[in-house]
Amino acid sequence: MAGSRAAIRYAKAALALAGEQDAVKAVYGDMDLVKNTVSANRDLQLMLKSPVVKAEVKKAVLDEIFAGLHKITGDLIRVLVVNNRVDLLAGVAGQYMALYDEHHGKQQAVVTTAVPLTDRLKAGVLQKVKELTGKEATLKNVIDESIIGGFVLRIGDLQYNASLARRFSDLKRKISYN
């Protein structure tokens, strides 16, 4: 939890600085690249979290991988290295993107299903999210076979659980109380 709070603080500071320098969109593109690169590379994640790898090595690796980024993004990476918080890099990038989207009236809806959603169902879910919240949303489909069927929809702090696993759990609870 503390890590995510720190990631939010760094992201807010980066967003504020990018706003002052009229570079919010450019830094958003950098953050998308950073988040996707770190998330897709397990070795990079392990290196960033490793207490054995020296900060100078981490900085050199990140400078090599992310050469050509906006100055604000590069400075953010250097600050994370200096403060020994570089393991938060992907989290900071994700939080920056979330704050940017929130500021622009977008949000992310996460739909957990037992099988992948079809394009038609995705469109229906996005339409329902817009009706409920009045905001545009991007949709992330998480596959979790343990919910058996149905779906779990999460939008920010709101969650709607219409999974079969939950219904079975409720039924079991009712039977055990009687």
pLDDT in tens, 34-71: 999 999 999 999 999 999 999 999 999 999 999 999 99
Task: Verify that 92 and 166 share a domain, yes or no.
Answer: no
- Whether the Cβ atoms of residue 99 and residue 12 lie closer than 8 Å to each other: yes
- Indicate the residue among 50, 80, 102 that finishes a domain: 102
- Whether the Cβ atoms of residue 150 and residue 170 lie closer than 8 Å to each other: no
Q: Provide the residue range defining the domain that includes 168.
A: 106-177
pLDDT in tens, 114-171: 999 999 999 988 888 888 888 888 888 999 999 988 889 988 778 888 888 888 888 8
pTM equals 0.70
In sequence order, the 6+-apart residues with CB closer than 8 A to the CB of 15 are 24, 27, 96, 99, 100, 103
What is the rounded distance in angstroms from the CA atom of residue 29 to the CA atom of residue 57?
Answer: 25
Token pair of 8, please? 């939010």
3-state secondary structure of 109: strand
Total structural domains within the chain: 2
